Structure 1
Amino acid sequence: MSKTPREIFESYLYAGTMTRNADALAENFTADGVFEAPLMPAGAAFPKRLVGREEIRSAMAAYYAQPVNDDRSPNLEKSGYVLHTTSDPDVFIAEIDTVFDGDAVDTSVSLVQIFRIRDGKIARLRDYFAPELMS
């Protein structure tokens, strides 16, 4: 039985954002999967483009091993997402609003991810977010 877009998205979200588990994240991708963050500048700590499950695994493990400059954590009750299906059954879009609790004011971060899937795995993910969020 094939995975639904929601199952694929939630597995990806849990592996990456919630647990920062590079092995689990990489397993969400096809062997030749592509992970892109097109808005990232060259030389940024967060990878701009990764090709293949093993490159995704090693690059994201290195990224996750870096010290976190921010002790904020997302407020899951205030955060949310909407998945949009398309006329292509292998493509869906995630519209995400993440809220981080602040001392005086909450911070909201919005982003869009475009998923192309094959056989229940991510064949290509384009992640559009403000690059300064990852520094």
Structure 2
Amino acid sequence: MSRTHLEIFQGYVHAGAISANADALAECFTPDGVFEAPLVPAGADFPRRLVGREEIRAGMAAYYARRPAGGRAPNLEKSGFVLHTTADPDVFIAEIDTFFDPDETVSLVQIFRVRDGRIAHLRDYFAPGLVSSATP
């Protein structure tokens, strides 16, 4: 049974942004899946490109391990998203406004290409300063 775009998106958000579970996040992808954050500079803490489920698992686990404990969490009641369909049934776009208390909204766009109910390619466009800065 194939999953809907909404189910794929919600699974990805829960595994990553909400629970920071690298294993669950990697399982959202196809074995040859690609994760890209094109706006993140080389040398940043957050990975710019990860290819394959195992590289996604390792790269995100390393990133989650470096994050400070007790970091800020999104306010899910105030945050929102809209999923946009495209002419290609395997591609959808997520337009996201994430709210952080006390009063900050972060807007971003994610482009998903899916295959067999999993993410085959994800491009995550957000301001890179949100997750890290380049190392000197």
Q: TM-score, normalised by structure 1?
A: 0.95
Q: CA deviation at 1:74?
A: 1.0
Read off the aligned partner of 2:90 and give its amino acid letter.
Answer: D
CA distance in 1, matches of 2:26, 2:3: 16
Does 1:63 pair with 2:60? no
Q: CA deviation at 1:67?
A: 3.2
CA distance in 2, matches of 1:56, 1:38: 15
CA distance in 2, matches of 1:70, 1:44: 21
Does 1:38 pair with 2:35? no
CA distance in 1, matches of 2:123, 2:115: 15
Read off the aligned partner of 1:12 and give its amino acid letter.
Answer: Y
Read off the aligned partner of 1:126 and give its amino acid letter.
Answer: R
Read off the aligned partner of 2:83 and give its amino acid letter.
Answer: L
Q: TM-score, normalised by structure 2?
A: 0.94
Which residue of 2 is the match for residue 99 of structure 1?
99
Following TM superposition, the consecutive aligned residue runs of length 4 or more in structure 1 with deviations greater than 6 angstroms are none
Read off the aligned partner of 1:37 and give its amino acid letter.
Answer: A
Does 1:126 pair with 2:91? no
Structure 1 residues without counterparts, runs of 5 or longer? none
More displaced stretch, 72-81 vs 17-26:
72-81
CA distance in 2, matches of 1:2, 1:18: 23
Question: Aligned-residue CA RMSD in angstroms?
Answer: 1.1
Q: CA deviation at 1:70?
A: 7.1
- Once the two structures are aligned, what percentage of the paired residues are identical? 73
